[in-house]
C-alpha cells in the first residue's frame, strides 16, 4: 500500500499539494491526481542509481534518439515518428508511427537492458487500476507506449499542455480520454536547472488554449498570460513524478549537464476501462 507521507507546498500557493509516496502508486494516488486534490505525485528512488546511469548512457549513444518535429533541440526515443504528437505536427508520419510502434517499444526495452522501468510502471499501473492498464490503440492499431527524452544544456520545453483529445480529434477511433497523466522517471536530472514547472489551471478546451498561445513559440503558451506556476519541482536522480498534462507545464532549460528521462502518458477513459498507455 502506498503511504502519503506528507503534502509539500513548493510555492506560495498553499493549495498546490505535491504528494510523496513510498511504494508503488495506488489507485487512490491516481484518483487524487485526476480529481485535482494533488498537483503532482513524487516517488523517490524509483530507479536505482546504477540502473539510471547505465540506461542513460545507453540512450544517449542510441541512434533511435531523434529530435521532435516541433522542436528538434529536444530529443526523444523512436526515430522520426516516435510520438503521436510528431504525427500531429507532421501528418505524413502517421503511417510510420503505427507500423513501427512495436519495434520502437521493443527497442526501448532492449536499450534498458531488457529490464525497463517503463515495463515496471506498466505492470504497477495494471495492478493499481481496477480495469488494468494497456497499450492504447486506434481501432486495431497499437500506439507507442514509453519514450525517453534528452535535453542538452540550454534546452528546455516551453509551457504547454499534452492532450491526446486535442491532437486526435480527426480520428473517430482514438481513445476518448477524460484525463491524461504524464509519468517521468528522471534517469539523469540536469545538474543545474531542468526544473519541472506546473501551473494551477486545467485547460480542457482548445479556445482557451489558443487564447494563451505564445506567438514566439511553435507550440508553447505565454508565461505572462499563465501567471505564476503552482509548483517548481527539482527532480532527484531516479525519481518518478506524475502529473496531469492538461495543466500547463514547462521544463526549465538545463544550465549544466544533459537531462535524461523516461516518460509515459497514462490516459483515463473511466475507472471501468483499462488505463491507456501511449506517447
Ligand X SMILES: O=C(O)CCC(=O)C(=O)O
Binding stretches for ligand X (CB under 6 A): 149, 157, 162, 182, 184, 196, 245, 249, 251, 261, 263
Contact residues toward Fe ion (CB under 5 A) are 162
Residue 26 vs 261, nearer CB to ligand X: 261
Question: How far apart are the C-alpha atoms of 10 and 74, rounded to whole Å?
Answer: 26
Q: Tell the smallest beta-carbon distance from residue 172 to ligand X (Å).
A: 25
172 exposure class (CB count in 10 Å sphere: 0-12, 13-18, 19+): exposed
Q: Which does 251 bind (CB under 5 to 8 A by kind): ligand X, Fe ion, none?
A: ligand X
How far apart are CB 31 and ligand X at their closest, in Å? 20
Task: Report how far residue 157's alpha carbon sits from residue 72's, in angstroms, rounded to the nearest whole number.
Answer: 11
Which of ligand X, Fe ion, none binds 226 (CB below 5-8 Å, type-dependent)? Answer: none
Residue whose beta carbon is closest to Fe ion: 162
Here the cell at position 219 is 507550440
C-alpha cell at 277: 498507455
C-beta of residue 278 within 8 angstroms of C-beta of residue 144: yes
Q: Closer to ligand X at the Cβ: 72 or 172?
A: 72
Of 122 and 249, which has the nearer Cβ to Fe ion? 249
| Cα atoms in the Cβ-side hemisphere of radius 13 Å centred on 232 | 11
Rounded to the nearest whole angstrom, what is the least distance from the CB of residue 206 to ligand X in the complex? 18
In the complex, minimum distance from the CB of residue 272 to Fe ion, in angstroms, rounded to a whole number: 27
166 vs 271 by CB, closer to Fe ion = 166
3-class SS letters over 5-34: EEECCCCCCCCCCEEEECCCCCHHHHHHHH
Amino acid at each position: 500500500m502506498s503511504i502519503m507521507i506528507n503534502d509539500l507546498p513548493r510555492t506560495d500557493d498553499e493549495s498546490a499539494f505535491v504528494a510523496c509516496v513510498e511504494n508503488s502508486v495506488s489507485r487512490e494516488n491516481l484518483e487524487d491526481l485526476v480529481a485535482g486534490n494533488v498537483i503532482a505525485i513524487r516517488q523517490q528512488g524509483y530507479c536505482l542509481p546504477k540502473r539510471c546511469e547505465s540506461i542513460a548512457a545507453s540512450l544517449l549513444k542510441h541512434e533511435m534518439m531523434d529530435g521532435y518535429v516541433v522542436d528538434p533541440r529536444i530529443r526523444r526515443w523512436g526515430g522520426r515518428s516516435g510520438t503521436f504528437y510528431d504525427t500531429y505536427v507532421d501528418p505524413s508520419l502517421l503511417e510510420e508511427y503505427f507500423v513501427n510502434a512495436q519495434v520502437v517499444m521493443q527497442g526501448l526495452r532492449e536499450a534498458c537492458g531488457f529490464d525497463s522501468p517503463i515495463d515496471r510502471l506498466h505492470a504497477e499501473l495494471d495492478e493499481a487500476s481496477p480495469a488494468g492498464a494497456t497499450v492504447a490503440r486506434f481501432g486495431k492499431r497499437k500506439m507507442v507506449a514509453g519514450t525517453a527524452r534528452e535535453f542538452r544544456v540550454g534546452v528546455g520545453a516551453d509551457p504547454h499542455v499534452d492532450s491526446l483529445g486535442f491532437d486526435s480529434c480527426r480520428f473517430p477511433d482514438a481513445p476518448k480520454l477524460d484525463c491524461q497523466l504524464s509519468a517521468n522517471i528522471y534517469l539523469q536530472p540536469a545538474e543545474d536547472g531542468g526544473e519541472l514547472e506546473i501551473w494551477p489551471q486545467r485547460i480542457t478546451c482548445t479556445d482557451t488554449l489558443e487564447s494563451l498561445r505564445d506567438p514566439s513559440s511553435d507550440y508553447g503558451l505565454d508565461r505572462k498570460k499563465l501567471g505564476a506556476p503552482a509548483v517548481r519541482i527539482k527532480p532527484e536522480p531516479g525519481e518518478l513524478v506524475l502529473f496531469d498534462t492538461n495543466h500547463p507545464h514547462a521544463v526549465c532549460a538545463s544550465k549544466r549537464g544533459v537531462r535524461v528521462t523516461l516518460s509515459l502518458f497514462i490516459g483515463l477513459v473511466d475507472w471501468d476501462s483499462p488505463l491507456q498507455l501511449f506517447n
